[in-house]
Amino acid sequence: MQKNQRAALYIRVSTEEQAEEGQSAPAQVETLKQYCSAYGIEIYDIYQDLGFSGKRLSDRLELARLLEDCRMGCFELVLVWKISRLSRNQSYSGRWSSNSSVQIEWVMPSIESDCPWA
């Protein structure tokens, strides 16, 4: 990972159950902000689709905004809490990243205490 990268943070919570199981939007945002702070990454913007399934991409307005900003070169990195937050269809995630110079990284909360962002 390069220093001085600008990142888009993408947050998605599809169900209330997920929100109650530690995957809430605020929990995802906080984890990603801590990661950025630990690695000197500038946050360009935070995109949040709340209450949307990972199967249907067409319903997610914030994902559409993220993709447009990606095409405009606004950032170099997309950070998500888990890759499933971006899309349930992993082949879609792979195609999107391979058609762009933007990197996609996912940050899973670590249970190890030496993790710099946990």
State the catalytic residues. Answer: 14
Cα dist. 83→3, 4, 94 in Å? 22, 23, 10
CB 13 within 8 A of CB 25: yes
- Single-letter code of the amino acid located at 108: M
Identify the DSSP state of 86: H
